């Protein structure tokens, strides 16, 4: 059994907002920690990643995670995260062969966006399928995404902290023995409103399609 290392991106996702506020941005609040509030049709994203079971009877289609920062096209990054460095920033992992994550974030005016993508390599297709199903039980209220990998699921949350809204979309897709997890969120610090569900959901799916295409091309 191989234990997958917990990605640091999940705990660091909104930390740039805190840094910007400390530097003098006139922000009265930040979406650093999701609240328990959510929209009907979306559940709060879990940061727990259960250990994937091992299998010696089935050969894994993918032996290692691809470079995540090259998995999202420049056009997609510019569209979803205006002002972000298109090269992205890879998040340190304790085992880059099994899990790799890249993130992009930027504050343009008062409009903040964050995007990240993770590739998580399991021992077998069966192990990945079991993990995929487990995560879906933790994120009820979303829906299937047709034509994305072997299977895919999307869910969107709205959280509010100190009257500041943040909306986040998560797409979990499985390609053979790999899970591709894409997260996209946004806030407007002037209006304190969040982008619409449609904008966040479509953005997360668009990035997920890029990532899945990159994974398939890495074989």
pLDDT of amino acid 219 = 79
Please state, in angstroms and rounded to a whole number, the distance separating the CA atoms of residues 18 and 31: 9
| Domain assignments of the chain as residue spans, ordered by start | 9-217
**Per-residue pLDDT reduced to its tens digit, 67-82:** 999 999 999 999 999 9
Please state, in angstroms and rounded to a whole number, the distance separating the CA atoms of residues 79 and 165: 21
Indicate the range of 31-35, 38-42, 166-170 predicted with least confidence: 31-35
Its pTM stands at 0.75
Contact residues for 38 (Cβ-Cβ < 8 A; gap 6+): 44, 157, 158, 159
**Per-residue pLDDT reduced to its tens digit, 162-193:** 999 999 999 999 999 999 999 999 999 999 99
Strand 89-91's sheet: what is its strand order? 89-91, 99-108, 111-121, 178-188, 164-175, 151-161, 143-144
């Amino acid at each position: 059994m191989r234990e997958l290392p917990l990605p640091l991106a999940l705990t660091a996702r909104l930390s740039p907002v805190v840094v910007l506020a400390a530097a003098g941005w006139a922000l009265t609040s930040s979406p650093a920690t999701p609240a328990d509030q959510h929209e009907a049709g979306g559940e709060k994203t879990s940061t727990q990643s259960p250990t994937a079971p091992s299998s010696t009877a089935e050969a894994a289609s993918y032996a290692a995670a691809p470079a995540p920062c090259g998995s999202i096209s420049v056009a997609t990054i510019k569209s979803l995260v205006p002002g972000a460095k298109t090269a992205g920033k890879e998040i340190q992992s304790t085992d880059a062969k099994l899990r790799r994550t890249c993130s992009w974030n930027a504050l343009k005016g008062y409009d903040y966006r964050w995007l990240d993508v993770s590739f998580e390599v399991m021992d077998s297709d069966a192990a990945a399928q079991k993990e995929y199903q487990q995560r879906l039980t933790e994120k009820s209220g979303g829906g299937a995404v047709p034509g994305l990998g072997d299977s895919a699921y999307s869910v969107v949350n709205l959280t509010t902290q100190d009257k500041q809204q943040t909306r986040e979309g998560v797409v979990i897709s499985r390609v053979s023995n790999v899970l591709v997890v894409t997260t996209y969120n946004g806030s407007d610090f002037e209006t304190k409103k969040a982008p619409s569900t449609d904008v966040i959901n479509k953005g997360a799916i668009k990035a997920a399609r890029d990532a899945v295409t990159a994974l398939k091309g890495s074989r």
